[in-house]
């Protein structure tokens, strides 16, 4: 089977492409910068250049493939709506139009549990009403809504919603959190640290994609891909700190004070042009809400079975960063 993987140069794309090649798929990469494929270029029988913000570059990118896994996205929490809308919504719409023209048999769209957003009653399921708190999640939600309309017209799409993902090669949310714990920058917990968060190891997320690709019944469906375990922020930071062999952030401070302090750091970072995911008032706000999502549907219908808990996945991840002097 010939599979087009968009965003193959990214964190998840890298791991997914390696797995699909191992499984014997004929892979075509769709990336905007071929150089970023670096050491995985040989996994692909062909590399197509596409910028999802430029409609003309999307034309015919899905020619002559059986399936598409669309990972490419502007994946940023603190960013402009214009970039999210153009890349995540319009880029996907143009790709779907091209895939429909070329009669692609399966189109897997990478959404996110951020399309659901924080939840009152955990765990959320695929049926939980969506209430995204970030523009990023909103861009995923409007794209899902567009795709669901196309599915009604017979377009063969599957929507995958991974939770926050961590693992080797990530340089964003989980890496910056691990780094902040390691260097003592995350030294206090805003509020009580008693709300729940869930992260899924990248190999488990990849397993979810492969199961969805290989199961005919996944067409027309939406699946949350998450780990079995979840933790309070305090517990999750303790797990990470114990692997790093540093003191975990345990001291709690009032939310208003944390918002004030982080607000100043956020302001200074903005002036300096520094993007530090952890030092944002929105992260203080997030830590007062729950983000836990059920993988029951994926287990039942796809045979998905996550193999990593946070400790096991973090051990591999931290080892990978250490071997590269990234911590
Ligand atoms: N990581 C997570 O925690 C997580 C959780 C849930 C869902 N997701 C979703 O999973 C997908 C992959 O995420 P990731 O963590 O692998 O992110 P990533 O490392 O930032 O990779 C994003 C990929 O999209 C490509 N891309 C961005 N803008 C593009 C454009 N205009 N044209 C062409 N390609 C473009 C990037 O290309 P360059 O290499 O050239 O930048 C990169 O290959 C995304 O859809 C993301 O929203 C991620």
What is the 3-state secondary structure of the chain?
Answer: CEEEEECCCCHHHHHHHHHHHHCCCEEEEEECCHHHHHHHHHHEEEEEECCCCCHHHHCCCCCCCCEEEECCCCCCCCCCHHHHHHHHHHHHHHHHHHHHHCCCCEEEEECCHHHCCCECCCCECCCCCCCCCCHHHHHHHHHHHHHHHHHHCCCCEEEEEECEEECCCCCCHHHHHHHHHHCCCCCEEECCCCCEECEEEHHHHHHHHHHHHHCHHHCCCEEEECCCCCEEHHHHHHHHHHHHCCCCCCEEECHHHHHHHHHHHHHHHHHHCCCCCCCCHHHHHHCCCEECECCHHHHHHHCCCCCCCHHHHHHHHHHHHHHCCCC
For ligand 1, atom 2: residue with the closest CA: 165
Domain boundaries defined on the chain: 2-166+199-229+292-308
Note whether 293 and 306 are within 8 A (CB): no
Residues ≥6 apart with Cβ < 8 Å to 179:
185, 326, 327
CA dist 321 and 149 (Å) reads 42
**Is the beta carbon of 10 within 6 A of some atom in ligand 1?**
yes
For 19-62, the pLDDT digits (tens) are 999 999 999 999 999 999 988 999 999 999 999 999 999 999 99
Ligand 1 atom nearest to 33, measured from its CA? 40
Q: What is the pLDDT at residue 277?
A: 87
Atom of ligand 1 nearest to the CA of 110: 45
User: What value does the mean pLDDT take over residues 264-292?
Assistant: 92
The CA distance from 73 to 85, in Å, is 10
Structure tokens at 26: 């004929």
Could you tell me the distance, in angstroms and rounded to a whole number, from the CA of residue 280 to the centre of ligand 1? 21
Choice among 139-143, 261-265, 315-319 with the minimum mean pLDDT: 261-265
Judge if the beta carbon of residue 36 lies within 6 A of ligand 1: yes
Measured over the CA atoms of residue 86, residue 92, residue 93 and residue 97, the dihedral's sign is positive
Give yes or no for residue 68 having a pLDDT over 90: yes
Say what the pTM is: 0.96
Lookup: tokens for 236: 């999750």
**Closest C-alpha among 89, 60, 62 to residue 74:** 89
Asked if residue 214 has pLDDT above 90, the reply is yes
Q: What is the pLDDT of residue 275?
A: 87
Contacts 24+ apart (CB under 8 A), 258-265: 258/188, 258/190, 258/191, 258/284, 259/190, 259/284, 259/285, 262/190
Using CA positions, which residue lies closest to atom 5 of ligand 1? 164
Report residue 58 as tokens. Answer: 């999307």
Q: Is the CB of 7 under 6 A from ligand 1?
A: yes
* Orientation of helix 233-244 relative to helix 173-182, angle to 10°: 70
- Give the number of the atom of ligand 1 that is nearest the alpha carbon of residue 140: 47
Question: What atom of ligand 1 comes closest to residue 113's alpha carbon?
Answer: 6
Ligand 1 pocket mutation pick from 73, 98, 162, 212 by most atoms within 8 angstroms of CB: 73
Q: CATH classification of 2-166+199-229+292-308, choosing from 3.40.50.720, 1.10.1040.10, 3.30.460.80, 1.20.120.530? A: 3.40.50.720
Mean pLDDT rounded to a whole number for the chain: 96
73 in ligand 1 pocket by Cβ < 6 Å?
yes
The whole-number pLDDT of residue 128 equals 97
The four Cα atoms 39, 43, 44, 50 give a dihedral, to 10 degrees, of -40
Task: Specify the pLDDT at position 187.
Answer: 82
Atom of ligand 1 nearest to the CA of 165: 3
């Amino acid at each position: 089977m010939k599979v087009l993987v968009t965003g193959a140069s990214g964190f998840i794309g890298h791991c997914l492409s390696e797995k699909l090649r191992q499984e014997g798929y004929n892979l075509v990469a769709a990336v905007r910068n071929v150089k970023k494929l670096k050491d995985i270029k040989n996994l692909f029988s062909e590399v197509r250049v596409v910028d999802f913000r430029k409609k003309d570059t999307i034309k015919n990118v899905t020619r002559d493939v059986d399936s598409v896994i669309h990972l490419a996205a502007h994946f940023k929490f603190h960013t402009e709506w214009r970039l999210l809308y153009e890349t995540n919504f319009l880029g996907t719409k143009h790709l779907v139009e091209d895939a429909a023209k070329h009669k692609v048999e399966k189109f897997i769209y990478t959404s996110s549990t951020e399309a659901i957003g924080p939840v009152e009653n955990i765990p959320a399921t695929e049926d939980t009403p969506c209430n995204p708190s970030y523009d990023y999640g909103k861009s995923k939600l409007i794209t899902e809504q567009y795709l669901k309309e196309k599915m009604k017209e017979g377009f063969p799409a599957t929507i995958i919603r991974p939770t926050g993902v961590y693992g080797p090669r990530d340089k964003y949310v989980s890496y910056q959190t691990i780094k902040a714990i390691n260097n003592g920058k995350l030294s206090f917990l805003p509020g009580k640290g008693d709300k729940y968060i869930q992260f899924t190891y990248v190999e488990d997320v990849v397993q979810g994609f492969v199961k969805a690709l290989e199961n005919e019944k996944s067409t027309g469906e939406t699946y949350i891909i998450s780990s079995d375990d979840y933790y309070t922020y305090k517990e999750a930071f303790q797990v990470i700190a114990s692997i790093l062999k540093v003191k975990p952030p345990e001291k709690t401070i009032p939310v208003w004070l944390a918002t004030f302090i982080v607000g100043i750091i956020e302001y200074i970072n903005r002036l300096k042009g520094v993007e530090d995911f952890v030092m944002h008032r929105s992260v203080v706000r997030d830590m007062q809400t729950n983000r836990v999502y059920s993988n029951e549907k994926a287990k039942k219908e796809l045979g998905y079975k996550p193999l990593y808990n946070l400790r096991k996945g973090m051990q591999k991840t931290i080892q990978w960063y250490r071997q590269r002097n990234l911590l």
